[in-house]
Amino acid sequence: MRSFVCLLILAAITLTGCGKEQQPSQSATTAGSQPAAQGINEKDREGLTPLLRAVKENNATEVESLIGQGADVDVPMESGVTPVMIAAGMGNNDIIRMLAGKGADVNARTPGNYTALMSAALNGQIETVKLLLELGADPSIKNNANMTAASYAREKEHKQIVDLLAQADGSEKQRRAK
């Protein structure tokens, strides 16, 4: 049951807002300039900043533009989900690199202590798991359900990710012991 609830929460991370029509003020690229009716870091009625919306839409060009305009790369949704978490669940490594390059926290946590690494592991995004580990994601973080990224990968039978995370977690523990 705990896993089912966690899966629902993580699914909400990647699916919130999918299929909704885009309003003209919601896209800097569509409008060809900065969002006029919405400030660069201001949330719309759905609780999304232009950057959060662009990440959810997998629009790397718009993400790059918004970052260049000074968008906050760590601003969360109402649920605490950050742009890196959204991109991780979708396996969009280009967007993750852009966000991390501007200082996004790859270990940011929702109020339930879910992380981008958990989202990537749950969704079988092995290349994203590798990237997040390279960027300093901590595989030992446990959420409020006492689950780690490896726990999610194990439940979904993503064996390569389980092995990768076990190796990374061992390295992290050795580093901390020094």
CA-based max dimension of the chain = 53
Best CA proximity match to 63, nearest among 13, 99, 113: 99
Q: Is residue 9 part of a domain?
A: yes
Q: Is residue 21 part of a domain?
A: no
3-state helix, strand, coil in the chain (%, to 5): 55, 0, 45
Q: Total structural domains in the chain?
A: 1
Report residue 70 as tokens. Answer: 């000074």
Q: Is residue 151 part of a domain?
A: yes
Q: Is residue 20 part of a domain?
A: no
pLDDT tens digits for range 10-69: 555 544 444 433 333 344 444 444 444 469 999 999 999 999 999 999 999 999 999 999
Binned at pLDDT 50, 70 and 90, residue 170 comes out as confident
Q: Is residue 18 part of a domain?
A: no
CATH number, domain of 140, equals: 1.25.40.20
Q: What is the pLDDT of residue 20?
A: 38
Q: Is residue 148 part of a domain?
A: yes
Q: Is residue 119 part of a domain?
A: yes
pLDDT tens digits for range 115-155: 999 999 999 999 999 999 999 999 999 999 999 999 999 99
Convert 62-102 into a string of H (helix), E (strand) and C (coil): HHHHHHHCCCCCCCCCCCCCCHHHHHHHHCCHHHHHHHHHC
Segments forming the whole domain that contains residue 136:
2-13+26-177
Q: How many CA atoms within 13 Å lie on the side-chain side of 132?
A: 32
Cα distances (Å, whole numbers) of residue 107 to 55, 102, 117: 18, 14, 8
Angle at 160 between CA 159 and CA 162, to 5 degrees: 60
CA 175 from chain centre, in angstroms, equals 25
Q: Is residue 144 part of a domain?
A: yes
Q: What does the mean pLDDT of the chain come to?
A: 84
pTM for the full model? 0.79
